[in-house]
Amino acid sequence: MPTSPLEYIWPGIVAAQAIHAASKLRIAEILDSGPRSAAELAAEAGADASALERLLRALGTLGILALTPDGKFANTPLSEQFSAGHPQSQRDTTLFLPAAFLWRPVGELYESVRTGEPAFPRIFGKSFFEYLDAHPEDATVFNAAMTQGIAFTSPALLAAYDFSRFRCVVDVGGGEGALLREILLATPGLGGILFDLPQTVARAGEVLTGDIAARCRIVGGSFFESVPEGGDLYVLKGVIHDWPDEDAVRILRTTRRATGPAGTLLLIENLVDSADRPVGVMELLMLVIGGRERSTADFRSILGSSGFDIARIIPAGWSSLIECRPV
Ligand X SMILES: C[S@@+](CC[C@H](N)C(=O)[O-])C[C@H]1O[C@@H](n2cnc3c(N)ncnc32)[C@H](O)[C@@H]1O
- Known catalytic residues are 241
Residues 49-68 that bind ligand X (CB under 6 A): none
Among positions 105, 118, 175, 177, the unique one binding ligand X when judged by CB under 6 A: 175
Segment interacting with ligand X (CB under 6 A) among 44-52, 64-72, 74-82, 216-224: 216-224
Segment interacting with ligand X (CB under 6 A) among 19-27, 75-83, 219-227, 292-300: 219-227
Among positions 29, 80, 92, 196, the unique one binding ligand X when judged by CB under 6 A: 196
| Contact flags string 111-130 toward ligand X, x per CB under 6 A | ------------------x-
Beta-bridged to residue 232, according to DSSP, are none
Helix H or strand E segment including 280? helix 280-289
CA dist., res. 154 & res. 201, Å (int): 19
Size of the chain, expressed as the number of residues it contains? 327
CA dist., res. 237 & res. 64, Å (int): 32
Among positions 93, 148, 187, 200, the unique one binding ligand X when judged by CB under 6 A: 200
Q: Is position 146 an interface residue for ligand X (rule: CB under 6 A)? A: yes
Segment interacting with ligand X (CB under 6 A) among 36-44, 73-81, 167-175, 258-266: 167-175
Segment interacting with ligand X (CB under 6 A) among 95-103, 217-225, 279-287, 293-301: 217-225
Greatest distance between any 2 Cα atoms in the chain: 70
3-class state of residue 314 by DSSP: strand
CA dist., res. 197 & res. 142, Å (int): 13
3-class state of residue 306 by DSSP: coil
- What secondary structure does DSSP assign to 113-170, as a single string? HHHSS-HHHHHHSS-HHHHHHH-HHHHHHHHHHHHHHHHHHHHHHHHH--GGG-SEEE
Q: Is position 150 an interface residue for ligand X (rule: CB under 6 A)? A: yes
CA dist., res. 113 & res. 52, Å (int): 36
Q: Which is nearer to ligand X, 27 or 322 (CB)?
A: 322
- What secondary structure does DSSP assign to 248-269, as a single string? HHHHHHHHHHHHTTT-EEEEEE
Q: Is position 231 an interface residue for ligand X (rule: CB under 6 A)? A: no
Q: Report which of 185, 197, 83 is spatially closest to residue 133, judged by C-alpha positions.
A: 197
Q: Which is nearer to ligand X, 73 or 195 (CB)?
A: 195
Q: Which residues contact 171 (CB under 8 A, 6 or more apart)?
A: 177, 179, 180, 183, 192, 193, 194, 195, 235, 237
Q: Is position 222 an interface residue for ligand X (rule: CB under 6 A)? A: yes
Among positions 36, 215, 237, 256, the unique one binding ligand X when judged by CB under 6 A: 237
Helix H or strand E segment including 47? none
Q: Which is nearer to ligand X, 64 or 248 (CB)?
A: 248
Q: Is position 197 an interface residue for ligand X (rule: CB under 6 A)? A: yes
Among positions 10, 103, 152, 224, the unique one binding ligand X when judged by CB under 6 A: 224
Residues 240-269 that bind ligand X (CB under 6 A): 242
Q: Which residues sit at the interface with ligand X, rule CB under 6 A?
A: 129, 146, 149-150, 173-175, 179, 196-197, 200, 222-224, 237-239, 242
